[in-house]
Amino acid sequence: MRPMPGATEGMQVRLSRELIVDAYLRVVEEEGAEAATLRRLGAELGVDPTAVYRHVRDKEEILAAASDRLLAQAAEGYEPTGSWRADLRALALRARGAYLNHPHALLALETSPAALPNGFRLADLVIGCLREAGLPEDEVAPAFEAIEGYVIGTALVDARASEETREEWRRAYTSLPRDRYPNLSAAASQVYRDPDAAFLYGLELMLAALEARAAGRSRAGRARPRDQV
Amino acid sequence: MRPMPGATEGMQVRLSRELIVDAYLRVVEEEGAEAATLRRLGAELGVDPTAVYRHVRDKEEILAAASDRLLAQAAEGYEPTGSWRADLRALALRARGAYLNHPHALLALETSPAALPNGFRLADLVIGCLREAGLPEDEVAPAFEAIEGYVIGTALVDARASEETREEWRRAYTSLPRDRYPNLSAAASQVYRDPDAAFLYGLELMLAALEARAAGRSRAGRARPRDQV
DNA sequence: ACCTGAACACCGTTCAAGT
DNA sequence: ACCTGAACACCGTTCAAGT
């Protein structure tokens, strides 16, 4: 379809990083990440597939720019409640939501840092919760990294799985010989029923342990018996 | 190089899934996962690139078969100590090692289950630890999933990062405006220093919380106050 | 200054043909 | 029964040419 003179004038906008990210997110949401090829983005933008190279260095940069927007959106409207534990849970769930919807884009951040003019908000808020909890200063960084790894990691894994593959895994566990795999056989039917519930269970484990460590510190002062974590 | 009659006779072995997996792991260990193309595997095996299709359905099946071997190897020589907590830690570290070395192969398991004739051992042992801990029956499955997700997820993330990208992330955090990102700025210099230490910190959080839940249960009997995890 | 379009250097995979 | 080799349908990316 060639643009008729005048008629599609309003549509014939100039290409920009913003528009490219728009197109990327639109295609992924409608047809999945594997559909978001550069040729497809070109078609979506009504432009030659290679035209985007005038605005981004490579495809990775598109994904990183998309991630920045997604993380900024995930932090939007967040209101702290005053309970660091409730806040940390809420922030983790927001991050998980973003990663579940766009695992490909957000995975690109790992290798291309510093591409987040807006997306650092979430991380700052999470660390704020940890400091507010009263965790020892030198545990804040590893605690942040552990939570970050848990949230990102489980989201990546959960995003790759589907109801079908989970069912296949259960079947595989169920059909195992009971004598060689007694524990896996016993748990087989209950496993992978609800990834969100499992995520929350593990998150609560971490939060409970963090609370215990912070409380133990405030009660015992300097001398902490279980320091060897 | 055409095989000289007799001389290379011993080398001219029949292709098999075993040999294909051998070649795949060898190439990945020497040159990285992106080098392990089918054309490269063909060269490695001294065979036409497409010859492997006689023995596997697609490339994914090669990765899954490799994962089976890697997980089986990771469980080799494991000896329980009698302490479920120490055992669980040891098993998690074994799994992490396998995933760190071959993230691509092990990620393939997510979508192609039941390809593990030998690799289920680790999962069975982990669940054994959780049952031995005295965790309520209905928490064994989510606890297993949480630990599995944590181990796999953090390994995938850590495997993608390098000392350089971690340094870049620290620099990005450090150069943030302190007034807009007070917490991230404060933690910037300490973060991403030691991924293994951060992994262990998070693992210990989970183990401590699991122990507390199991202990609370054995003391309080049926009536548990904090059941809403 | 920005976009086009041909071309390049790859992928995984299929399939008829060889032995 | 197994392997070969040409071919297919894709990728991301480069670059000279157009406007």
CATH number at residue A164: 1.10.357.10
For B37, phi then psi, to 5°, come to -85, 165
Q: How confident is the model at residue B216 (pLDDT cuts 50, 70, 90)?
A: confident
Mean pLDDT of chain A: 89
> What's the pLDDT at A220?
56
B213 found inside a domain: yes
Q: Considering chain A, what percentage of its residues have pLDDT values greater than 90?
A: 83
In this prediction, residue B219 carries a pLDDT of: 63
Residues 6+ apart with CB under 8 A from B20: B41, B45, B52, B55, B56, B62, B65
> What is the C-alpha to C-alpha distance for residues B147 and B128, in angstroms, rounded to an integer?
13
Torsion of CA B49, B54, B55, B57, to 10 degrees: 90
pLDDT at A7: 31
A-chain residue closest to B210, CA distance: A205
Cβ of A47 < 7 Å from strand C?
Answer: yes
Residue A144 lies in a domain: yes
Cα separation, A61 vs A105, whole angstroms: 10
Q: Is the residue at B109 inside a domain?
A: yes
Residue A92 to chain B, least CA–CA distance (Å): 14
Query: What is the per-residue pLDDT for B220?
Result: 56
* Confidence class for position A216, pLDDT limits 50, 70, 90: confident
Q: Which pTM value belongs to this model?
A: 0.90
- Of A41, A22, A81, A139, nearest in space to B197 by CA: A139
**Range of weakest confidence among A73-77, A111-115, A185-189, B169-173:** A111-115
- Say how many domains are in chain B: 1
Q: Pick from B152, B75, B79, B78: which is nearest to B119 by CA?
A: B75
- Asked if A212 and B212 come within 8 Å (Cβ–Cβ), the reply is yes
Tokens 């990691």 -> residue: A153
What is the tens place of the pLDDT at every residue in A79-127?
999 999 999 999 999 999 999 999 999 999 988 776 788 889 999 999 9
Mean pLDDT in residue range A57-80: 96
State whether the beta carbon of B60 lies below 7 angstroms from any atom of strand C: yes
CB B142 to CB A197 under 8 A?
yes
The pLDDT value recorded for residue B63 is 97
Q: Which residue is nearest to nucleotide D15 (CA to C1')?
A: A50
CB contact under 8 A, A110 and B157: yes
B135/B89 Cα distance (integer angstroms): 16
Confidence of residue B162 (pLDDT cuts 50, 70, 90): very high
Position B143 in a domain: yes
pLDDT value for B229: 43
Residue A138 reports pLDDT greater than 60 = yes
Domain membership of residue A56 (yes or no) is no
Parent domain of A192: 79-219
Our measurement of CA B63 to C1' D17, in angstroms, reads 44
The predicted structure's pLDDT at residue A13:
62
Are B229 and A127 an interchain contact pair (Cβ–Cβ within 8 Å)? Answer: no
Kindly report the average pLDDT of chain B as a whole number. 89
B148-175: average pLDDT:
94
Q: A195 and B145 in contact (C-beta within 8 Å)?
A: yes
| Residue A72, in any domain of the structure | no
What is the least distance, in Å, from the CA of A85 to any CA of chain B?
Answer: 13
Task: Evaluate if residue B87 carries a pLDDT over 90.
Answer: yes
Q: Higher-confidence residue: A126 or A220?
A: A126
Contacts of A158 (CB under 8 A, 6+ apart): A100, A195, A199, B149
**Residue A99 is assigned to a structural domain of this protein:** yes
Long-range contacts made by residues B48-56, C-beta under 8 angstroms, separation at least 24? B51/B15, B52/B15, B52/B20, B54/B15, B55/B15, B55/B16, B55/B17, B55/B20, B56/B17, B56/B20
Q: Is the CB of B38 under 7 A from strand C?
A: yes
